[in-house]
């Protein structure tokens, strides 16, 4: 099981559909680098690592190659990854 492996084709088509061809809001150029890796955002706990507590947001960074402005797109909502089975209790409310 490679749950973390993302579906790049699905992600790119999501970007094309929702993002279109918009330029960078910071510098106005239109050169984006789409990461092929999923990253995690977790709640800040004063620098302490809290295990198994709190939701983790899977994100895929899209970075402007001119100015470095980075846009984080949710990996689940974009269809890049499937919802992990062991995270259902964290996601459903």
Q: Residues interacting with Zn ion, by CB under 5 A? A: 24, 26-27, 64, 66-67, 69
Nearest to 34 by CA among 2, 3, 5, 9: 9
Minimum separation from the CB atom of position 28 to Zn ion (A):
7
Measured from the CB atom, the residue of 12 and 67 that comes closer to Zn ion is 67
Name the minimum Å distance from CB 30 to Zn ion: 9
Work out how close the CB of 22 gets to Zn ion at its nearest, in angstroms, rounded to a whole number. 11
| Nearest to Zn ion of 11, 32 (CB atom) | 32
């Amino acid at each position: 099981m490679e749950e973390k492996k993302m579906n790049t084709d699905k992600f790119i088509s999501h970007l094309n559909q929702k993002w279109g061809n918009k330029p960078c809001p910071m510098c106005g150029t239109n050169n984006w680098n789409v990461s092929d890796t999923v990253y995690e955002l977790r709640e800040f706990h004063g620098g302490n690592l809290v295990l198994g507590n709190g939701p983790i947001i899977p994100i895929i960074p899209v970075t402007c190659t001119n100015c470095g402005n980075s846009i984080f797109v949710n990996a689940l909502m974009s269809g890049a990854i499937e919802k992990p089975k062991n995270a259902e209790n964290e996601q459903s409310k």
